Structure 1
Amino acid sequence: MHRLVADWYPTVLADPLLHPLFGDGHPEHIDHLTAFLGEVFGGPTTYTDDLGGFPAILEAHRGKRIRADQRQRFIDLFLAAADRTGLPGDSRTRTALRDYLDFGTEVAVQNSHATADTDLHPCQEVPRWDG
Protein backbone atom coordinates (compact mmCIF):
# COMPACT_ATOMS: atom_id res chain seq x y z
CA MET A 1 0.00 0.00 0.00
CA HIS A 2 2.84 2.40 0.84
CA ARG A 3 4.49 1.81 -2.54
CA LEU A 4 1.18 2.50 -4.29
CA VAL A 5 0.55 5.74 -2.40
CA ALA A 6 4.17 6.88 -2.81
CA ASP A 7 3.90 6.35 -6.57
CA TRP A 8 0.53 8.09 -6.83
CA TYR A 9 1.21 11.15 -4.64
CA PRO A 10 3.71 12.94 -6.91
CA THR A 11 1.27 12.56 -9.80
CA VAL A 12 -1.46 14.55 -8.02
CA LEU A 13 1.02 17.22 -6.96
CA ALA A 14 2.12 17.64 -10.59
CA ASP A 15 -1.37 17.49 -12.07
CA PRO A 16 -2.76 20.95 -12.96
CA LEU A 17 -6.32 19.85 -12.18
CA LEU A 18 -5.47 18.45 -8.73
CA HIS A 19 -2.66 20.77 -7.65
CA PRO A 20 -5.14 23.36 -6.33
CA LEU A 21 -6.46 20.73 -3.92
CA PHE A 22 -3.09 19.34 -2.83
CA GLY A 23 -0.83 22.36 -3.20
CA ASP A 24 2.83 21.49 -2.87
CA GLY A 25 1.97 18.54 -0.65
CA HIS A 26 2.93 17.56 2.87
CA PRO A 27 5.71 15.09 3.68
CA GLU A 28 3.49 13.13 6.10
CA HIS A 29 0.65 12.72 3.61
CA ILE A 30 2.02 9.49 2.11
CA ASP A 31 2.32 7.80 5.51
CA HIS A 32 -1.07 9.09 6.65
CA LEU A 33 -2.87 7.98 3.49
CA THR A 34 -1.10 4.62 3.65
CA ALA A 35 -2.34 4.16 7.23
CA PHE A 36 -5.85 5.26 6.22
CA LEU A 37 -6.09 2.89 3.26
CA GLY A 38 -4.54 0.07 5.26
CA GLU A 39 -7.28 0.49 7.84
CA VAL A 40 -9.95 0.73 5.17
CA PHE A 41 -8.87 -2.58 3.66
CA GLY A 42 -8.68 -4.51 6.91
CA GLY A 43 -5.31 -3.58 8.36
CA PRO A 44 -4.51 -2.10 11.77
CA THR A 45 -6.49 0.86 13.08
CA THR A 46 -3.43 3.13 13.11
CA TYR A 47 -5.23 5.96 11.35
CA THR A 48 -8.07 5.98 13.85
CA ASP A 49 -5.90 5.35 16.90
CA ASP A 50 -2.94 7.61 16.17
CA LEU A 51 -3.73 10.03 13.35
CA GLY A 52 -7.09 11.56 14.18
CA GLY A 53 -9.48 9.13 12.50
CA PHE A 54 -12.38 10.34 10.43
CA PRO A 55 -12.41 13.87 11.91
CA ALA A 56 -8.92 14.40 10.45
CA ILE A 57 -10.10 13.32 6.98
CA LEU A 58 -13.15 15.55 7.31
CA GLU A 59 -11.01 18.54 8.23
CA ALA A 60 -8.61 17.89 5.33
CA HIS A 61 -11.47 18.11 2.81
CA ARG A 62 -13.55 20.85 4.41
CA GLY A 63 -13.95 23.84 2.11
CA LYS A 64 -12.03 22.31 -0.82
CA ARG A 65 -15.16 22.26 -3.03
CA ILE A 66 -13.92 19.27 -5.03
CA ARG A 67 -15.38 19.13 -8.54
CA ALA A 68 -16.47 16.05 -10.50
CA ASP A 69 -13.55 16.36 -12.93
CA GLN A 70 -11.09 16.52 -10.02
CA ARG A 71 -12.72 13.49 -8.40
CA GLN A 72 -12.37 11.48 -11.62
CA ARG A 73 -8.76 12.53 -12.14
CA PHE A 74 -7.92 11.45 -8.59
CA ILE A 75 -9.40 8.01 -9.31
CA ASP A 76 -7.69 7.71 -12.71
CA LEU A 77 -4.28 8.58 -11.28
CA PHE A 78 -4.73 6.17 -8.38
CA LEU A 79 -5.67 3.30 -10.70
CA ALA A 80 -2.71 4.11 -12.95
CA ALA A 81 -0.42 3.96 -9.90
CA ALA A 82 -1.95 0.60 -8.98
CA ASP A 83 -0.96 -0.67 -12.43
CA ARG A 84 2.57 0.76 -12.24
CA THR A 85 3.26 -0.63 -8.78
CA GLY A 86 1.99 -4.12 -9.48
CA LEU A 87 -1.11 -4.18 -7.31
CA PRO A 88 -2.74 -7.53 -8.05
CA GLY A 89 -4.89 -7.30 -11.14
CA ASP A 90 -7.42 -9.98 -10.21
CA SER A 91 -11.02 -8.89 -10.45
CA ARG A 92 -11.71 -9.14 -6.70
CA THR A 93 -8.82 -6.82 -5.78
CA ARG A 94 -9.40 -4.32 -8.55
CA THR A 95 -13.17 -4.24 -8.07
CA ALA A 96 -12.74 -3.60 -4.35
CA LEU A 97 -10.25 -0.81 -5.06
CA ARG A 98 -12.44 0.82 -7.72
CA ASP A 99 -15.56 0.52 -5.58
CA TYR A 100 -13.80 2.04 -2.58
CA LEU A 101 -12.33 4.88 -4.65
CA ASP A 102 -15.82 5.64 -5.99
CA PHE A 103 -17.26 5.62 -2.47
CA GLY A 104 -14.38 7.45 -0.80
CA THR A 105 -14.23 10.22 -3.38
CA GLU A 106 -18.02 10.62 -3.19
CA VAL A 107 -17.69 11.16 0.57
CA ALA A 108 -14.81 13.60 0.04
CA VAL A 109 -16.74 15.61 -2.55
CA GLN A 110 -19.87 15.86 -0.42
CA ASN A 111 -17.91 16.82 2.69
CA SER A 112 -15.81 19.33 0.76
CA HIS A 113 -18.98 21.25 -0.10
CA ALA A 114 -20.63 21.03 3.33
CA THR A 115 -21.39 24.36 4.92
CA ALA A 116 -22.99 22.81 8.01
CA ASP A 117 -22.68 19.51 9.81
CA THR A 118 -26.10 18.51 8.46
CA ASP A 119 -24.60 18.63 4.94
CA LEU A 120 -21.92 16.03 5.74
CA HIS A 121 -21.98 12.53 4.32
CA PRO A 122 -23.45 10.08 6.84
CA CYS A 123 -20.18 8.09 6.88
CA GLN A 124 -18.44 9.50 9.95
CA GLU A 125 -15.76 6.92 10.66
CA VAL A 126 -13.04 5.20 8.69
CA PRO A 127 -14.94 2.62 6.65
CA ARG A 128 -13.89 -1.02 6.64
CA TRP A 129 -14.06 -2.12 3.05
CA ASP A 130 -14.42 -5.67 1.82
CA GLY A 131 -15.99 -4.86 -1.53
Structure 2
Amino acid sequence: MGRLTTHVLDTAKGCPAAGIRIELHRFGNGHDDMVAEAVTNADGRTDKPMLEGASFKPGQYQLVFHAGDYLDASGAELPDPKFLDQVVIRFGISDGQAHYHVPLLLSPFGYSTYRGS
Protein backbone atom coordinates (compact mmCIF):
# COMPACT_ATOMS: atom_id res chain seq x y z
CA MET A 1 0.00 0.00 0.00
CA GLY A 2 1.33 3.47 -0.90
CA ARG A 3 2.27 6.18 1.54
CA LEU A 4 3.90 9.60 1.78
CA THR A 5 6.42 10.38 4.50
CA THR A 6 8.74 13.30 5.21
CA HIS A 7 11.32 14.55 7.66
CA VAL A 8 13.29 17.76 8.22
CA LEU A 9 17.00 18.03 8.98
CA ASP A 10 18.68 21.26 10.06
CA THR A 11 21.85 21.18 7.96
CA ALA A 12 23.30 24.27 9.68
CA LYS A 13 23.19 22.54 13.08
CA GLY A 14 23.54 18.95 11.86
CA CYS A 15 20.46 17.68 13.67
CA PRO A 16 16.75 16.90 13.22
CA ALA A 17 14.43 19.92 13.10
CA ALA A 18 11.68 19.50 15.69
CA GLY A 19 8.49 21.52 15.90
CA ILE A 20 8.01 22.43 12.23
CA ARG A 21 4.38 22.52 11.12
CA ILE A 22 3.77 20.84 7.75
CA GLU A 23 0.70 21.07 5.54
CA LEU A 24 -0.08 18.72 2.66
CA HIS A 25 -2.24 19.99 -0.20
CA ARG A 26 -3.75 18.07 -3.11
CA PHE A 27 -4.48 19.79 -6.44
CA GLY A 28 -7.17 18.77 -8.88
CA ASN A 29 -10.15 20.11 -10.81
CA GLY A 30 -9.01 23.66 -10.10
CA HIS A 31 -8.99 23.09 -6.32
CA ASP A 32 -6.25 23.25 -3.72
CA ASP A 33 -7.38 21.12 -0.78
CA MET A 34 -5.40 20.73 2.43
CA VAL A 35 -5.56 17.00 3.16
CA ALA A 36 -3.20 16.64 6.13
CA GLU A 37 -1.25 18.59 8.72
CA ALA A 38 1.47 17.48 11.12
CA VAL A 39 4.32 18.77 13.29
CA THR A 40 7.80 17.26 13.29
CA ASN A 41 8.81 15.39 16.44
CA ALA A 42 12.20 15.33 18.19
CA ASP A 43 13.57 13.14 15.37
CA GLY A 44 12.46 15.69 12.73
CA ARG A 45 9.81 13.25 11.48
CA THR A 46 6.04 13.18 11.59
CA ASP A 47 4.51 10.62 13.95
CA LYS A 48 2.66 8.95 11.08
CA PRO A 49 2.72 9.17 7.27
CA MET A 50 1.32 12.37 5.78
CA LEU A 51 -0.80 10.25 3.47
CA GLU A 52 -1.56 6.51 3.35
CA GLY A 53 -4.26 3.96 2.70
CA ALA A 54 -7.32 4.85 0.66
CA SER A 55 -6.46 8.57 0.66
CA PHE A 56 -3.10 7.91 -1.05
CA LYS A 57 -3.84 8.54 -4.72
CA PRO A 58 -1.83 9.60 -7.77
CA GLY A 59 -1.95 13.34 -8.42
CA GLN A 60 -0.30 16.68 -7.82
CA TYR A 61 0.62 17.56 -4.23
CA GLN A 62 2.36 20.27 -2.28
CA LEU A 63 4.10 20.14 1.08
CA VAL A 64 4.31 23.46 2.91
CA PHE A 65 6.96 23.52 5.63
CA HIS A 66 6.40 26.43 8.06
CA ALA A 67 10.10 26.81 8.81
CA GLY A 68 10.14 30.47 9.90
CA ASP A 69 9.32 29.94 13.58
CA TYR A 70 11.86 27.14 13.79
CA LEU A 71 14.55 29.32 12.20
CA ASP A 72 13.70 32.20 14.56
CA ALA A 73 14.15 29.88 17.56
CA SER A 74 17.33 28.28 16.18
CA GLY A 75 19.62 31.03 17.43
CA ALA A 76 20.80 31.91 13.93
CA GLU A 77 21.26 35.57 13.10
CA LEU A 78 18.50 36.24 10.60
CA PRO A 79 17.67 39.32 8.54
CA ASP A 80 14.27 40.99 8.74
CA PRO A 81 12.40 39.74 6.83
CA LYS A 82 13.84 36.21 6.92
CA PHE A 83 15.16 34.80 3.65
CA LEU A 84 13.10 31.62 4.21
CA ASP A 85 9.78 31.45 5.99
CA GLN A 86 7.58 28.90 4.23
CA VAL A 87 9.26 26.26 2.07
CA VAL A 88 6.92 24.89 -0.59
CA ILE A 89 7.65 21.66 -2.45
CA ARG A 90 5.25 20.75 -5.26
CA PHE A 91 5.51 17.21 -6.62
CA GLY A 92 3.58 14.48 -8.35
CA ILE A 93 2.63 10.99 -7.22
CA SER A 94 2.27 8.64 -10.17
CA ASP A 95 2.28 5.23 -8.45
CA GLY A 96 -0.50 4.69 -5.93
CA GLN A 97 1.27 1.64 -4.48
CA ALA A 98 4.74 3.16 -3.89
CA HIS A 99 6.40 4.79 -0.90
CA TYR A 100 7.17 8.43 -1.57
CA HIS A 101 9.53 10.05 0.93
CA VAL A 102 10.06 13.80 0.48
CA PRO A 103 12.57 15.13 3.02
CA LEU A 104 13.62 18.73 3.57
CA LEU A 105 17.23 19.62 4.30
CA LEU A 106 17.03 23.12 5.77
CA SER A 107 19.33 25.98 6.73
CA PRO A 108 18.52 29.70 7.20
CA PHE A 109 19.58 30.55 3.65
CA GLY A 110 18.89 27.45 1.61
CA TYR A 111 17.19 24.09 1.33
CA SER A 112 17.16 20.96 -0.77
CA THR A 113 14.93 17.95 -1.25
CA TYR A 114 14.84 14.68 -3.13
CA ARG A 115 12.66 11.61 -3.49
CA GLY A 116 13.94 9.23 -0.86
CA SER A 117 12.97 5.75 0.17
TM over 0.5, shorter chain: no
State TM-score, norm by structure 2: 0.32
| Structure with the larger strand share | 2
State TM-score, norm by structure 1: 0.30
| Structure with the larger helix share | 1
